[in-house]
Structures are given as C-alpha cells and as structure tokens.
Chains A and B, each alone.
Chain A
Amino acid sequence: MAQKNKQGSFFSTIFRIIPIVIKMYPLQLLSICTIDLLLGMFLGLNTIALDRFFHAIQYYAVGSTPFANIFYALLFLFVCIAANPVLNGFNDVISFDYERKVTGKLGEMLNRKCEKQDPVNFEDITFLEKINKAQEGLKNTFKLAIDILDALFAYIPYFLVISVYLYRLSPMLLLVIVLFFVPDIFSQAFKGRLYTKLEDNVAPIRRKYEHYEQCIIGKDYFKETRSLGAFNYFSNVYKGALASLNHETMKTQVQSARIELTFKLFTLSGYVGTLLLLVMYLLNGTISVASFGAVLASIDMLMSMLEQFIFYVLGRSMKRVGSVNNFLSFLTEEQYQGKKAILREAPEIIVRSVSFSYPGSTEKAISDVSLVIHSGETVAIVGENGAGKSTFVKLLCGLYIPDKGTIIVGGHDTRDIDRETLMAGMSCVFQHYQRYKMTLAQNVFISNTKTEMDQEKVERSLQKADLSVRKEIFPEGEDTMLSREFDGIDLSGGQWQKVAIARGFYRAHYMILLDEPTSAIDPTQETKLYRTFMELSKDKTSIIVTHRLALTSVADRILVMDHGHIVQEGTHEELMAHDGLYKRMYLAQSKWYK
C-alpha cells in the first residue's frame, strides 16, 4: 500500500485529494457541484430544445400550426441558451474565490510542514527540489480536484443527456461518434509524453541561455562584460544556446504535429462519416429536417466537449497527478517528535567524538571532535575559510545533528530533544543573517514572537547594537519598512548587520551564538560592539566565530579549527607559544601592521 502511494496511481491520488478539498469548505463545494450539474444538463438540453423548436418552426413556416404553439418551444430554448452564461457567471465567481481559499489553506499546510523540517535538509539539493516540487504540486492540487469535479458533475451529465438523445435518433450515430474519438485520447497521451520529454531536454539549455543573457545584461555582470569588451563572446554563446533551444522545440513540434495529424485525420474521417450518416438519414427520411439541424448545431459542441474532456480532464489531470503526489508525499513525510528540553541556566555543552558531513557529500565537515564548554564560558572559534567553524556552531546549538557521536547541551542530548523547546533559551547572530523585508521593529521583534512586541525592548536592543534610528534614515522611525520593493528604504550592509545584532539581543537567552557578527562593520565601531557582546554574554554560554584574531581577546578560550578538526585550543598566549596554525595565521595577518 505504502509502495503504491509513493508511485501514486491516478485514482489513488484523486481519492486522497478529494476528501481534503471537500473538508475545507463543503458549502462552497456543494454550490459549485450544483452549478456544474445544471450547466451540464442545460448544455445537453440545448440540443433537445433546438430539435423541438426547429420542429415547431417547420410546421409554422408551412402554416400548419399557429404562432402560439412555437411559444413554449421558444421559451424552453431561451432558458437553455441563457442558462449557460448566467450559470457560468456564478461559477466563475464562486470557483475562483474557492480556488484562492483552498490554495491558501494548502499553502498554510505547507508552511507548517516546512517549519518542522530538519534544518540540515535545506543543505540537500534533492530536498530543496522536493520542496520546489511540492510548491508546484500545491498549485496543481486544486486544479486537479476541480477538473475531476467538473468531469463528474458537468461533462458526464452532458454526455448522458446527449447520448440518450442521439441514441433515440439513431444508435449508429452514437456509435460512430464514440468510436472515432477513442484515438484522440491516445494522441493526447502521446503529446503529453512528448512535451514532458521536451521539457526535460530543454531545462538544461534554458539554464544556459538564461545565464548567458545574465552575463550580457544582468546587473552582476554588466559592468565587467562591458569593460572587457566581451559582448561578442557572450552574444555568440547566447545565440548558440538559443539556436539549440529552437532546434529542440521545432523537432518536438514537428513530431507532435505528425502524430496529431494522423489521429486528427482519423477523427476527421469520423466527423465526416457522421455528417454523411446524417445526410443519408435525412435523405431517406429516418430523421427530420429539424433534428438534422439540431444535431448539426450540437455536433460541434459535442466534439469540442469531448476534446475538452479528453484534453483537460484526462490529459491535463494525468499530467498533474505526479506533481500533486509530490505535494501529498511531502505533507505526509515523517517528522521527528522529541522530548522537551528547557534551559533554565547557562548550559554546559559536552561534545563527544562528533563527526558530521553534509547530505550528498562524502567529505566530513567535522571529524571526530571532542570538547567540553563550561556553563557561562565564552569560547572563540578561529580558522581559515572552509575549516568547519560555522558547521560546528550549528552542531553545538542543535540545528544540525551529528552523524556520529553526541552533543549534550545542558544535560539534553541534541539527538533526542524537541528543537523548539531547547532553542527557546538560545539566541544568535549568524554570518548569513536575514534581511527581512519587514519594518525595522518587526526585524528585531521576529526573534521573539511568542510574546507581544515590547516597543521599549526593541528600542533598547537597537541602542545596544549601536544603530541610531534617525529621522533622515528611518523616516517612520521603527515602523520604517526595510525594503525598496515594498515602498521602504534600503540599508547598507553595516546597518543591516546592526539590525541583526539587535535581533539577537532582543531574544531572551542563556546561550548565544555569534558567527562573524561584525564582518561588515567599521573597525572602530567593531571594537565597541565586541565590548557590548562581552557585557551581554556575562553568565551566559557564548560562542563567537571570527577571523579577526585580535578580537578573540574577549574569549575565555580560543579553539582553532582546520579541515573539520580542532587542532589547537587555549588562550592567545598559550597558542602563540607553539608553532601552530594559530601562530601562522596570526603572523600572516599582523606582519603588515607592524
């Protein structure tokens, strides 16, 4: 069963999504189904009404019936004709709003699901693709459901009504129409597969030409491409990529046209056959002129309804099933529920032979590290780019779980705990801090949303981070929107970093992680900020990552990392006494300032 769900057959997927959609807004759904049903029926009745009316008018024309007799036939016809646009109007309004409502609900489900994901998953490209596909699937879920409902409540009733009518006219007629339409189903299936293949072939080409286009006109490349005079170079590769896109598209198009033409010719011969059959019936008197007229009018409608049914309900829905399954399987993915772990004081951290590698990578980012960080200690981590400092910090706070070994924070093994509860006692300023497109106050408040926003505390945090909220820069004070996109302002890198620092301060904590917290800030201000960090990390377990070695003077202990190992530890004096990486780095940096 589980195996089957993963693959997701057409019907099992439909049986899974229909209840979800029904449960959300049953009343609206009911009204949509009712309107659908009426639409389908009136569409079918249209042909019958025409038949009746043409009959009546034929008699009237030759004077064998008074005008009054055609009145009811005309009224019936009018109701059938008017029903379509009138019902469609309601249908549009209700179903568009319904779509937005359902999509909103589904979106909320996806948001919540993402909240519970393991952060390390986001380093995994296949997982990111999964989310991407789930987002795509979300958009398709409603559409699939509504197409199926349309099929059940509008198309099928229509086909029933029209079939009964045609069958009563001539069973042969019905048979011919149905038979000749079967191949069209296959042609749609072929076409669908062809285009999926095209999409697969084109995706890498598209990535290429989009990149080359960026190399020519993208903001990140423009200046350099112009001053190198490299326009022609990129223009040529760009043209090449576009040409191969053209080639692929044309190839598929020709193939698809060839297949479709074959099937269409077949269907066309069915159409012509139906027409000839009708003519024959008319000439030999099986059907009346009125019925002939009515069938002729509805045959186009029938054909286009059949085609829509095949193309949309079957073709499009089949295409969507895969994508909807991605969404469903993402929602039902298992998630770990751990024990509560609440910090009540600055925690001690015990690291026991920990190794860690990123998903999809065989290289160990952290390899066999053991260490104890005491309660209330301030530890600085230094090392070259790529030494594993940031990864180590993320392991220490429980964001990542070690592959091997254990990390115990305040007595709780990070592997067994409910992350949320442990993190309630931690704060951080990361190297890749977020620039939220929200107001200044929200940017700070976001670190502690469990209680109402404390205006005063926001102000204090900003002050501590040395960010002055002056009117010239922040026209609306703390309520200034920090994004040009949403009619707000842009901040410089240094200002943003201070916002991130204020955010870290705003959150109550027993333990704080500072990963290169001042890389974009001027040196004079940097020293000042480090003093503030010191003040704030008193009695708290603090971990600071920095590449400016002199700033490690604020730490009780310095850890030197290299290739995932801790290669040295101690105070500055202790480390300088040995010929190690620390001393080499230190001398390389300091000799230019002697």
Chain B
Amino acid sequence: MKDKLGVANLVQIVPHYSPLEAVFLGALNVCGGIVPTVYLLATSKFIDSAISFSKNGSGKNSIFLFIFIMVICTAYMWLYPLLVELIATKLENNLRKSFRIDLTTNIASVRYDYIENQESMDLISRVCREPEARASQSYQRMLSAFGLILKIGGIMVILFLRVWWATLVVAGIAALVFMVAMKGGEENYEAERLAEKHNRKAHYLSEVLQGRDAVHERTIFDYSEKVNEWWHSQYETARKIKLSASLKWLKESEISGILTSLMILGIILVLVVPLKNGALSIGLYISIINSIIALIPDLSWELPEYTEAIAEDKEYLSDLSGLLKLQHNKEWLSTPSSKVSDVESIEFRNVTFSYPGLCRDVLKNVSFLMEKGKHYAIVGANGSGKTTITKLLTGLYNDFSGQILINGIPIGAYSSSELKSMFAIVYQDFAKYGISLFDNIAIGNVNNFDEDKVYEAINEMELSSLIESLPEGVLTSLGRISEGSVDLSGGQWQRIATARALVSNASVRILDEPTAALDPISESKLYENFEKINKGKTTILISHRLASTKLADVIFVFDDGSIVEQGNYEKLMSMDGIYSTMFNSQRSWYIYGTEE
C-alpha cells in the first residue's frame, strides 16, 4: 500500500470491488461525453442539407440519415442517466458488501489503543460514515468530470479543425475560469472549516436548549434565555464568516461569468470570418454556437461543484489512507482456541506500563503470582491501575516492560486465540449487545452455543423471572434496535454480562466491578453465591467496594500503580494500612453512626 492515497486511487479501489459495474459506468460516461459532439455534427449536416434541399431539392435521403442520428443521440442523452442510476445502485451495493465490510474488518483488527484514542476514533468515524456511498459518488463524479472534459474536448477539436487559433483563445480563457473556480473552491472550503467550529458549538447549544438530556436543569435553572443568546452569537459568527467568504467569491465568480460570456462572444465573432468566406457552413456555425451555449451551465455550475467535491474527496482519501496505516493484525479477530489449556499460574515480574501517548506510568514495577483455583481481589482508588492488569492479561496492550508469565511461559509466546480461551471477563463497562437474550449469554462461548450451559447460567444469575416476563422469552432481542426488542435496567444487564462469563470454558474469571449496577440486596446475594458459582475456577475480582474482597484468598492493594499491601482480609485489617483505612471509611457508608 502506498503511503498516501490520492483521488486517482479511486480508479483502483472502486473497480477492484465491483469491476463489471465500474467499467460499464465508465463506458456510459465516455459515450455521454462523445454523443454531444456527434449530435453537433449531425445537426450541422442536417441544417446544411435542409438548406440545399429547399434550394434545389437534392439530398433527401441524407436528410433522414442525419435526423436518425440526431434522434439516436437525443435518446441516448435522455435515457442514459436512468441506466447510470441503476448501475450505480448495483455498484454501491457491491461496495457495501465488500468494501464496507473490508473496512470494518480492518478497523476491528487494529491495535487496541487506537480505540481509546480520541483522535483515531474521530478518524474512524469519519471514514466509516457510509463509505460505500462516498466511494461510489466520488467515482461517479470523476467519471462525470471526465465526460465533461470529453464534451468540451469534442467541441474544441471541431473548432480547431476549422479555426485553430480560436481554440487557443478559448483554451486560455477556459483555463483562467477554471483557476478562478479552483481558488474560489479552496477559499470556500477554508471558510467552511473556520465556520465549522462555531457551527458545532451552536449545534451543541441547541441540543442543550431542545434536547432531552438537559431538560430538568433547563427547567429548574431557567437558563434558556441566556443560552439562546450564546447560541445566537455562535450562529451569527459562523454566518458572517461564510458571508464574507462568499462576498470575496462573488467578485471572482462575476469575473469568471463575464469572461465566459466574452469567450462565447469571441467565438461567435471569430467564426463569422470563415462563415463569410465559406470555410464554415451555416449549419455548422449554428450547431457550434448552440453547443457552446449549452456548455454554459456545465461551466458555471458543474465545474465549480466538481472542484469543490474533489477537494473533499482528497480529504476523505487522506483519511482513508491514514486509517489503513493504523497497525492491525487479523490474528486478533480469531475465536478462542477450542482446546482449552488450563492456567496453572499467572505471574507478573516487575511489570511497568504506561498508556501510549501518556507519560505517566499506570503500573510501576508490579510483581505478583496467582495460582490455579484461588480467589484474588484487586482493590484501590480510581485510577490506581487495577483495570489495566486485565488489559495486559488479555493482550489488548503488549508494550510493557518486565515480564508477564502464564504457566511460566512469556505471554508473548501465546497466540491471541489461546489467550482468549484462558480468560472470561466481566468488564466494568460490559457490552449491551442488541441481539437476543440467549445469544447475549451464549456468546460467552462463541465456539459452542451450549443450551444447557446457558440455562445453568440463567439460573445462577437468577434471570428466570425476568425471562418469563419477556414477550419472546430467551429469544427476545435486547436493547432498542428492532421492533419488539426490550431494553433492560442496568442491574439486569449486569447479570446478563456476568452470565456470559459463566458459560465460558476459560479457567480464569476476571470480574471488574461486577456489582456496580446492582441494588444492595442483589449485591449481597451475589457475594453469598460467589463460592458456589466460581467453584474450581481461578477468579480475579476488581472492586472498590471492599466488602466483596472479604471472600478473596489474597487481596492486592494498589496505590498509584504499585502494590502496597497484600494478604487476606484479616491480615490487611490488622496491618492498619491503606486497606483498613479504606474499609473503615466505606463502613461509614453502610453502618449508621460510624462516621463520627
């Protein structure tokens, strides 16, 4: 892949995914560019022979031939947009099922840190907005521009053959007009960009004024008047920027408009000479002038549009090449390996890690050992590095220093597929998939949608009564994406996310804040069942609710990226360190009168 894609690359991308339609469209446009010239010639011949027929009654047959050609040309010009539309739809459909899916697959396989980076996420969302429509439209625009060039070229050739020097004058003026249009296009684009920031602000403020999110504060604080003022000032700033740009552009467009008209006047005048001396027939004269006049809208509207659109396409293609340059690896898309290897031990040796682009170390020289079948807890304040450990273990990040060993072998030696089969994770921000409830749980083990296991997990997470209340039981789709789907409460979703981990064959379960959305009574129940549910598994519980950590065999206390205390509950409480301070402070949330 080349470093940077240019507009010309569209000629490769689009035909690559939909060769037949792309070529067909190209051919249609080429004909569309040539036909006007044929029409011009036929008309001129027709007029001339009509004149000679009315003078001396000769050449009747050739008259009909020319009329026939004129009709065919007209029919083509009249019908080919219809054909173009049909084929373009087919082309877009082809791009949708190939180009779009390739793009999505490509993004799905990028290095994980791009997903947490605002800049690359913006890039991704820009490129992925209906990419098939963008590609197809840009491709068609290029073809139309090419057709227009052919159309102009045809007339020029005819002109050139009759009065060669007139062509040079025309070409000169056309080049001038084109340059003015290009410059204007750029300026407009620049103004658009400048105004865009204010527009975005205005758009945000109108959301505050009209949207659902802010309605309660909006009503109580009664700020609409003031915010409307702010909105107005942002809106007006954007408008004025655009107005001043278009005023500048006005002068240029007037000049180019008058130039174009002068050019036409020039041709009309210049051609009078050969007309007078008989080098040019009256038929051809009339036809040439007609064709040139027909070109006016193309020159004054279509051309500037193309230049503007091409500037946008350029931007898009540079985004696209930026996206393709993101480091990616198809192996990361693999399913979990079907032969499950038991994790006997996990060891961190002096692991230090910082997120790409940030200089602060989230983990500083962390070492610990976890063994099969035991329950571990990781505690610490927000931002102390707890969740990062999960991301390292599952291979989402691998730029750390030190060593992470699984069963004594460095983590880098395992394939992505093997790592996936070792860990089942309930994320703090678990995914709420808009698929059926059954699939939402079964997907915890994608290799085998085992019904028994799913129902077992449903029972363990006490989801049965919820399922009974759903219109289509376990097959009800969740979320809000399709008709008849049902959205669940945060607590219900959390139980489904947990059930998802329960169906997995992985021998290590990582639970990251598994009770954040549960009410106190359900939370308490989950702790009570913890042992039973996780029998025989190694568990790593990450939580800032310390009550849950009582169940752990070993608790690791993180502070500012390091392990500061470790041991079981009794040991840590007797140490009178961070853990016991935190525990006592939390006790005051739940036990009346302990805060004093």
CB <8 Å contact, B223 and A446 = yes
CB <8 Å contact, A215 and B434 = yes
CB <8 Å contact, A128 and B212 = yes
Given the known interface contacts A227-B423, A228-B420, the answer about A384 and B520 at a Cβ–Cβ threshold of 8 Å is yes
Contact residues of A between 195 and 210, Cβ < 8 Å to B: 204, 207-208
CB <8 Å contact, A108 and B228 = yes
CB <8 Å contact, B104 and A428 = no
CB <8 Å contact, B265 and A78 = yes
Tell me how far the C-beta of A331 lies from the nearest C-beta in chain B, rounded to whole angstroms. Answer: 13
Tell me how far the C-beta of A45 lies from the nearest C-beta in chain B, rounded to whole angstroms. Answer: 13
Q: Considering residues A58, A81, A217, which has the most beta carbons from chain B within 10 angstroms of its beta carbon?
A: A217
A-B contact count (CB 8 A): 407
> Which secondary structure dominates chain A's binding surface?
helix
Q: Which residues of A contact B212 (CB under 8 A)?
A: 122-123, 128
Q: Is B12 an interface residue (CB 8 A)?
A: no
Q: Interface 1/0s, chain B 134-151, versus A by CB < 8 A?
A: 000000000000000000
Measured CA separation A213–B591 after assembly (Å): 46
CB <8 Å contact, A485 and B246 = no
CB <8 Å contact, B587 and A593 = yes
Q: Interface 1/0s, chain B 472-504, versus A by CB < 8 A?
A: 000000010111000001110000000010000
Q: Which residues of B contact A211 (CB under 8 A)?
A: 434, 479, 481
Q: Which residues of B contact A463 (CB under 8 A)?
A: none
CB <8 Å contact, A423 and B482 = no
CB <8 Å contact, B96 and A449 = no
Contact residues of A between 22 and 50, Cβ < 8 Å to B: 46, 50
CB <8 Å contact, A591 and B588 = no
Q: Which residues of B contact A553 (CB under 8 A)?
A: 592-593, 595
Selecting from B75-83, B168-176, B314-322, B556-564, the interface stretch reads: B75-83
Selecting from B26-34, B253-261, B371-379, the interface stretch reads: B253-261
Partner of B583, one of A135, A297, A593: A593
Contact residues of A between 251 and 274, Cβ < 8 Å to B: 253-254, 257, 260-261, 264, 267-268, 271-272
Q: Which residues of B contact A594 (CB under 8 A)?
A: 591
Contact residues of A between 216 and 258, Cβ < 8 Å to B: 216-217, 219-233, 235, 237-239, 242-243, 245-246, 249-250, 253-254, 257
Selecting from B153-161, B232-240, B343-351, B455-463, the interface stretch reads: B232-240
Given the known interface contacts A92-B253, A96-B242, A397-B220, the answer about A229 and B417 at a Cβ–Cβ threshold of 8 Å is yes
CB <8 Å contact, A433 and B217 = yes
Partner of A593, one of B220, B265, B275, B590: B590
Q: Which residues of B contact A100 (CB under 8 A)?
A: 238-239, 242-243
Measured CA separation A329–B232 after assembly (Å): 23
Partner of B481, one of A207, A296, A434: A207
Q: Interface 1/0s, chain B 440-480, versus A by CB < 8 A?
A: 00011010000000000000000000000000000000010
Q: Is B58 an interface residue (CB 8 A)?
A: no
Contact residues of B between 108 and 131, Cβ < 8 Å to A: 108, 112, 115-116, 118, 121, 124, 128
> Which secondary structure dominates chain B's binding surface?
helix
Q: Which residues of B contact A424 (CB under 8 A)?
A: 222
Q: Interface 1/0s, chain A 170-182, versus B by CB < 8 A?
A: 0000000000000
CB <8 Å contact, B431 and A221 = yes
Measured CA separation A404–B107 after assembly (Å): 54
Given the known interface contacts A437-B204, A523-B588, A592-B550, the answer about A297 and B290 at a Cβ–Cβ threshold of 8 Å is yes
Partner of B286, one of A54, A224, A399: A54
CB <8 Å contact, A60 and B258 = no
Q: Which residues of A contact B332 (CB under 8 A)?
A: 226
CB <8 Å contact, B100 and A242 = yes
Given the known interface contacts A111-B231, A223-B396, A399-B219, the answer about A81 and B246 at a Cβ–Cβ threshold of 8 Å is no
Q: A86-B257, A507-B221 are in contact. List 7 more A-B contacts (CB 8 A).
A: A93-B243, A264-B79, A384-B519, A385-B519, A428-B220, A549-B590, A576-B592
Pick the 9 closest A-B CB pairs, nearest first. Answer: A85-B257, A592-B547, A449-B226, A82-B261, A293-B286, A115-B224, A229-B335, A297-B290, A588-B524
Contact sample, A vs B, 19 pairs, CB 8 Å cutoff:
A85-B256, A93-B246, A111-B210, A115-B228, A217-B128, A221-B431, A224-B425, A224-B430, A227-B423, A249-B93, A268-B75, A275-B70, A283-B50, A283-B63, A523-B589, A524-B585, A550-B588, A585-B521, A586-B592
